[in-house]
Amino acid sequence: MSTPTSTPHQPGEPHLPAEYRAALQSIRSAHARPELVVTEIPAPAQLAPFSVALAADVRPARHGDDSDLGTGRFILLYDPDEPEAWGGPFRVVCFAQAPLETDIGLDPFLADVTWSWLVDALDARHASYTAASGTATKIISTGFGELASQGDGAQIELRASWSPLETDLAAHVEGWGELLCMLAGLPPTGEGVSLLNTRRSPRG
């Protein structure tokens, strides 16, 4: 995993708050699944005084493009003033999305299963958090006119946020990566997690 840093407007690392610095170090120590390409991207500067962002794509991905199999973002926000809505100084905001076979996209339980995958991935790694929230969105599309050759397609996207109760964020990053791989149809690394038959061919 590439080494995340603070947002450009922030001072050098020795001057960062100690607990935020510890969180950065734990993100650096996170172990990404080998199917993932994880890189640092510019973090949003307006959401919190300190932030760091990661992007992940499921291999293979075209250079410079999001993966045809799955893509996601992970953002850690830090505000020492502990916003009331967060319930602490840290907040994780993430999303993960992947294309699906149309019949899988029509599954009425898909959104519930997707959310349970995230919760299970975090719990399996003993990530400590509170105030979790999110939305799972299913998109069913049909091409017309010059896009008719694309036929029908489907996509699942999960947007989620939660407040870590610890400065060790490795488990949180790894849980997000696990979710992304599962959405892409890859088997889970842990036991006791069911897997939908989500194998698909990219549209195009």
Torsion, CA 133, CA 72, CA 122, CA 134, rounded to 10: 10
Q: Does residue 199 belong to any structural domain of this protein?
A: no
- Tell me, what's the pLDDT at 198? 41
pTM of the predicted protein model: 0.80
User: Would you say the C-alpha torsion 38, 54, 69, 191 has a positive or negative sign?
Assistant: positive
Residue 62 in any domain: the answer is yes
Q: Above 90 in pLDDT, residue 114? A: yes
Within-domain flag for 145: yes
61 part of a folded domain: yes
Q: What is the mean pLDDT of the chain?
A: 82
Residue 105 included in any domain: yes
∠ Cα 102 123 181 (to 5°):
35
In a domain? residue 171: yes
Cα dist. 113→49, 98, 102, 165 in Å?
34, 14, 16, 25
- The pLDDT of residue 140 is 78
For 86, the domain range is 13-183
Count: domains in the chain: 1
The pLDDT assigned to 194 comes to 42
pLDDT of res. 141: 74
Q: What per-residue confidence (pLDDT) applies to 60?
A: 67
- Listed in sequence order, the residues at least 6 apart from 176 whose beta carbon sits closer than 8 Å to its beta carbon are 56, 72, 74, 92, 94, 96, 118, 121
What pLDDT score does 1 carry?
A: 57
Q: How far apart are CA 32 and CA 57, in angstroms?
A: 11
Question: Is 173 domain-assigned?
Answer: yes
Q: Is residue 158 part of a domain?
A: yes
